[in-house]
Structure 1
């Protein structure tokens, strides 16, 4: 078999993310675990290509829709819909927040030519470790989807969106404050 091209890997990664969304939409514990495993496979495949960009976001947003649909279809022990299970507001908020965050990152990178280091390459010692930890706490796509996988499998859709929105809000605030402080120093 010939080597897979980056486009093929991207398509397979997107397919796994869409399948994860389908399983998440089931809303059952088994569906959440199966979705989490498929999402992890999508993230791992995403690590083998230089830039997923739009396809990664499409898969991520499909996962949010699947989680939301699964929560909306959740029923209680008596067979009645669970009150407050409509999480479309949370999914929309997550998409908006993460889109603004991505635009902030792209804008900042565009104003700092030569400043960007992919994955902390070139950083060594404790400084390199701290830089990688800082980037991880900033909740980039891979770490964000790992967070979604774990929280969805363990706790369900509502806590997943609560953690995602809280962490992404805090990370965005810290990043924005840091960039503003660096701008004032110059």
Structure 2
């Protein structure tokens, strides 16, 4: 979510400052204002975010966000136990659904990651694993160029998830996840959403 036209926040028509990626598109603005960076501490919510971040690889987040209602319907609300039981018939259904991103490897990974999520419960669970990689400090970027795309913690999270059998969980993808679910706060310092997690100070 970078914008070469403006490296800092944009003063929007409502008088609030947002990063360039959240300043124009109404859908992205709503997502930024209400969801991005807010802590997610439930298994279903984290599983959904991992799946969607995986589908986003190589695409824009706006593309995924617009398709999220269709994804939620097709993947049974992202309830891990339900998706873990998907069979070949479900796979073909997903591959033929034009409302989704029809990438066979990513669809297979989504089902595989549901099974890994269920299996991980015997070892503390997905929520504890993700949040155990919260850093001691969070970035304090003033411009988009100061926002990192990877961190030692995201590299460690990617390794641990891969050991647990997860796919499409590289360090960059996992840093994006950590931003989205509040594990780190990369809101620009003068954004009206800085500190919205309640975990990190403004």
Return the TM-score normalized by structure 1.
0.30
Q: Which has the larger radius of gyration?
A: 1
Tell which has more relative contact order, 1 or 2 (C-alpha 8 A, sep 6+): 2
Identify, as 1 or 2, the structure richer in helix: 1
Return the TM-score normalized by structure 2.
0.28
